[in-house]
Structure 1
């Protein structure tokens, strides 16, 4: 996972937490749910990037490329 991807995912997670907190504070369920969705999206992207990183590591070991 590139540094830019990590930064974007973290920013999305933080934005989601802020939306969820704001929605809770104001009683806005839509905003709260949007925040939760942003956080879930960020977590999914992190998981996909980790799988890609592992696949690349395995491929490098198999091919001897470093």
Structure 2
């Protein structure tokens, strides 16, 4: 479930960045890139947690 939220955050960030580019809004573009980075970090943490669970078995 958390992985899906991370992917959704990445997608939202991509849309925000694209909208910012279309409107010429540098701040919105930066916010979008930030959301994408946060989503990618969350996804990486989930992947690491899954690997740790698998190795513990």
Higher relative contact order (CA 8 A, sep 6+): 2
Partner residue of 1:50 out of 33, 47, 50: 47
Q: Normalising to structure 2: TM-score of the pair?
A: 0.92
Unpaired runs of at least 5, structure 1: 61-66
Unpaired runs of at least 5, structure 2: none
Following superposition of structure 1 onto structure 2, how do residues 19-38 of structure 1 map, counting pairs within 5 Å?
Answer: 19-38=16-35
Q: Is the 8 A contact 2:7 2:43 kept in 1?
A: no
How many residues are paired up? 57
- What is the aligned partner in structure 1 of residue 56 from structure 2? 59
Following superposition of structure 1 onto structure 2, how do residues 1-12 of structure 1 map, counting pairs within 5 Å?
Answer: 4-12=1-9
Q: Which has the larger radius of gyration?
A: 1
